A and B are shown apart, each in its own frame.
Chain A
Amino acid sequence: MAEKPIIDERRCRGCGLCVSVCHLHGLVLVGKVVVVVETVQCDWCADCELVCPNGAIACPFEIVLLQN
């Protein structure tokens, strides 16, 4: 299963800015909280993280060495 951004529901205020910028339409508002669409193949552009005024979305990177 593809990795997905992490939503902190306690911080999310449901403003929907992340929903508006996701070019894969991978975020939706359910009530006053944003959720990640189960089937989205997130490309980790991190625009959602960038625009969130409350720091409620995280697109964390794992750092790995290239295996030869």
Chain B
Amino acid sequence: MTVDLEFLKDSPYFAGLTPAQLQSVRDRVFERSFDRGEMVSLEGEVSATLYIVVSGVVKIFMTSADGKEQILSIVRPGESFNDVPAFDGGPNPAGARAMGPVLLYGISGDDMKAVLWEHPPIAINVVRTLASRVRHLISLVEDLSFKHVIGRVARILLENVAGEIGSGPRMTQQEMAAMAGTAREVVGRSLKSLEDRGAIRLDRHRIVITDEEALRRIMEPS
């Protein structure tokens, strides 16, 4: 398959290039495809390849020493990932896994730098893309560092418990995130953490409060 020039033209990094300039970029771009669950890149690995998602979805995440996963971002078609190691040559700060069949365009960090030397105006595209990435991560750092999200999620669960099955409000993780003033990714992790502590059990479309007292203690730690 040939790399699609129209797709490259619309990607955040290469917007504004002329057809001839895009052709020189295309010569450096390669395709890679992955099936659901396959790792595209490992946390800590040195790969120095910038990827742009053509189709499918990629999850960017970090894993703690005890196996807990924190999603950093969900990358959809037209968006890029692995930008940081591609530009600084260091190890991948996070892992990337295909959430379904995925087609990617890749360009090595060296080739990306060569493109920048050849077409300096796109430097502003790079700056804009990296700045938006930093903004997103700062917001996530704020959520994870300063907000006691798990306590708020515990409170939301206790305040919205159904008197009997089928009688209470039903809430998505996005709605819980909006109520807790945090990101959906943080709610997912909080629910997992509450389950690990034995306070709740995720039972398909139900969140079963298995230890109400424990949940109250998490909500208002002494």
- The answer to whether A60 touches B99, judged by C-beta atoms less than 8 angstroms apart, is no
Interface 9-residue window, one of B85-93, B107-115, B169-177: B169-177
The reply to whether the CB of B74 lies closer than 8 angstroms to some CB of chain A is yes
**B67 interface residue, CB < 8 Å from A?**
no
Q: CA separation between A50 and B97, bound complex, in Å? A: 14
Q: How far is the CB of B91 from chain A (nearest CB, A)?
A: 26
Answer whether A53 and B76 are a contact pair too, CB < 8 Å, given A61-B170, A64-B165.
yes
Minimum CB–CB distance from A21 to chain B (whole Å) comes to: 4
Interface residue total, chain B, C-beta cutoff 8 A: 36
B205 contact from A22, A47, A50, A62, Cβ within 8 A: A62
Interface magnitude class on chain A: 20 to 34
Chain A contacts for B168, CB-based, 8 A = 62-64
- Residue A11 at the chain B interface, CB threshold 8 Å: no
Instruction: Report yes or no: A46 in contact with B173, Cβ–Cβ below 8 A.
Output: yes
| Cβ-defined partner of B204 (8 Å) among A3, A58, A65, A66 | A3
Contact of B204 with A17 in the complex, beta carbons under 8 Å: no
Q: Is A59 an interface residue (CB 8 A)?
A: yes
A23 within 8 A of partner (CB): yes
Chain A residues in 8 Å Cβ range of B99: 20-21, 47, 51
Stretch at the interface among B38-46, B138-146, B155-163: B155-163
Q: When the two chains form their complex, are residues A60 and B101 in contact, meaning their CB atoms are under 8 A apart?
A: no
Find residues 119-167 in chain B having any chain A CB closer than 8 Å to their own CB: 157, 160-162, 165-166
Do A62 and B162 contact each other (CB < 8 Å), given the known contacts A20-B56, A44-B204?
yes
Could you name 18 residue pairs across A and B whose Cβ atoms are closer than 8 Å?
A17-B76, A17-B100, A20-B55, A21-B57, A43-B204, A44-B202, A46-B188, A50-B74, A58-B174, A59-B205, A61-B171, A62-B168, A62-B206, A63-B206, A64-B207, A65-B208, A66-B209, A66-B210
Residues of B within 8 A of A (CB): 36, 55-57, 74, 76-77, 99-102, 157, 160-162, 165-166, 168, 170-175, 184, 188, 201-202, 204-210, 212
Apart from A46-B172, A61-B170, what are 9 other A-B pairs with CB-CB below 8 Å? A3-B204, A3-B205, A58-B172, A60-B172, A61-B173, A61-B207, A62-B165, A63-B207, A65-B209
